[in-house]
Structure 1
Amino acid sequence: MVKEECKTMLDALNKVTACYRHMVISAGGTSDSHNLREELRKTRQKAQDLAVANRNKLTSVLKDKTITKEDRADYERLWVIFSTCMEILEVDMRRALELGQEFPINVPKKHLIQTGMTGGTSAVAARAMSVQNMKYEAETNLDLADLKDLEHEICQVEEMMYEMEMKVNVPQWTVEAKQDPGAELKSTVSIGASSVGAISLDENKSYCDPSKALAGVVFTAVLIVAIVLAVCVVKLS
């Protein structure tokens, strides 16, 4: 039951981490928006919550000296997968921080296009104190606060990974995989080859039908005659 629980929690972390990476790719692009930045914030927090739960569970299990050698090998494989998910999450969080700094979501386009000022001093001051500009300033502060939170969370992930290495010493190169490299690809190819072979057998059986063979000969003869006539027409013209 404990092993299945660890697998379920790790699968949830893997899915959330993949979802976060998919959304980070859209940051700074044409599909970027306030909703995307908010979903990024919620998703990375969910990933960190799952990471803490996975770390606590796997750490307690791997520290248990009573588990069998076979179970320990399985938990070590799960630990390696967990460590990889954490590394991917940290890389994507850093990428999100860089994109958030380079492409602030709250910068109005008019401030990027228009240059200079027109009108008297009072008019400029009135525009500067307008409700729209105040709202923009407030949203900018929220954006900067989220980036500061992201920087802090990146440091937390780094500390978590360091603590993991100190508490549970599981070098990745010592963990053996259950399957050979490319086993899944080989199985897929073998399935595809067997399917193709079955189709080929069915086609060979259909080719052995005398009526279909005769129809094929007649069709070939008609095609040859048509080609000859086309060549003759071209030469005569």
Structure 2
Amino acid sequence: MGIKMVKDECQMLLEALNKVSACYRHLVICVGGTSDSQNLREELKKIRRKARVLAVANKTRLITILRDKTITKDDRAEFERLWVLFSVCMEILEFDMRRALELGHEFPLNDPTKHRIQTGMIGSTSVVAARGMNIPNMKYEERSNIDTVDLNDLEQEINEVAEMTYEMEMKVNVLQWTVEAKQGPGSELKSTANAGASLAVRSVSGRGNDQLCHCDASKVVAGVMFGAVVIIAIVLAVCVVKLS
């Protein structure tokens, strides 16, 4: 497999992991709220396990290529940037999993004495889960021990994510503050379609520059007007003090 193919595959895996992690974060907010349910807990389990599969695949490829001494300096720099993005995504995923664990302990489904938070969100969360998982809406059989089983599984999976992060740091020594970003935020996660859209935007850069100049001129005028108002206010305050 060529370097370019490996790079494209790592970028696609990272994009998928970022999408699934964002979906997981969105659903974690619902735990303990009025839209919390067994369906939500099951969807969270499926999404975090999907995220783990993507993370393991990306980790394996990045570790293999970054430990290869034959790749060029430019290729190594590109893979190190992907490694940093991957590490940050894993940290965010672990944080959200720990938050889901805390909320799960605080708001067990089978405890009627625990009042749900009135978040204003109601109804099923399956649509959001399907966006991250590409799975149809599902119904689950009621289980009396869902709180205990799910929270135990979640705690074990948090430990697995933490161990994965530790293994990454031990096998590949990439210092995040030494990696230079050559692209704008999120550029590595854009799809080919978005990249094409960016080229289309750049093709009309002349018109964009005109709009930018107009915007800058508007800011200058606003700044001058604000300064004049401040000066008038100071003069009036001085007059009032002298008259008093």
TM-score band, normalised by the shorter chain? 0.5 to 0.7
Is 1:49 the counterpart of 2:53 in the alignment?
yes
| Aligned counterpart, 1:28 | 32
Give 1:180 deviation, angstroms. Answer: 6.8
1:83-133 Cα offsets, whole Å, 9 max, x none, are 001000100000000000000112346x98xxxxxxxxxxxxxxxxxxxxx
Task: Identify unmatched segments of 5+ residues in structure 1.
Answer: 113-137, 201-237
CA distance in 2, matches of 1:35, 1:156: 24
Deviations 1:181-220 (A, max 9, x none): 899xxx9xx949717949x9xxxxxxxxxxxxxxxxxxxx
For residues 28 and 196 of structure 1, what CA distance do their matches in structure 2 show? 49
- TM-score norm. by structure 1 comes to 0.65
Matched-pair contact (CA < 8 Å) for 1:106–1:139: no
- Cα 1:85–1:194 shift into 2, 3 Å: same
Higher relative contact order (CA 8 A, sep 6+): 2
In structure 1, the residue matched to 2:43 is: 39
2: CA distance, partners of 1:181 / 1:160? 25
What is the count of residue pairs matched by the alignment?
169
Over the aligned positions, Cα root-mean-square deviation in angstroms equals 2.9
| Matched residue, 2:16 | 12
Q: Structure 2: how far apart are the matches of 1:182 and 1:193?
A: 26
Percent identity, please.
Answer: 64
Spell out the pairing of 1:173-188 with structure 2 (5 A cutoff): 173-179=177-183
Runs of 4+ with >6 A deviation: 180-183
Deviation at 1:143, TM superposition (A): 2.0
2:176 is aligned with what amino acid? Q
Query: What letter matches 1:174 in structure 2?
Result: T
Compare the two structures and name the one with the higher helix fraction. 1
Instruction: Report the TM-score, using the length of structure 2 for normalisation.
Output: 0.63
> Relative to structure 1, is the Cα distance of residues 21 and 193 closer, same or farther in structure 2, using a 3 angstrom cutoff?
farther
The amino acid that maps onto 1:164 is M
Matched letter for residue 74 of structure 1 = E
* Cα shift at 1:33: 1.1
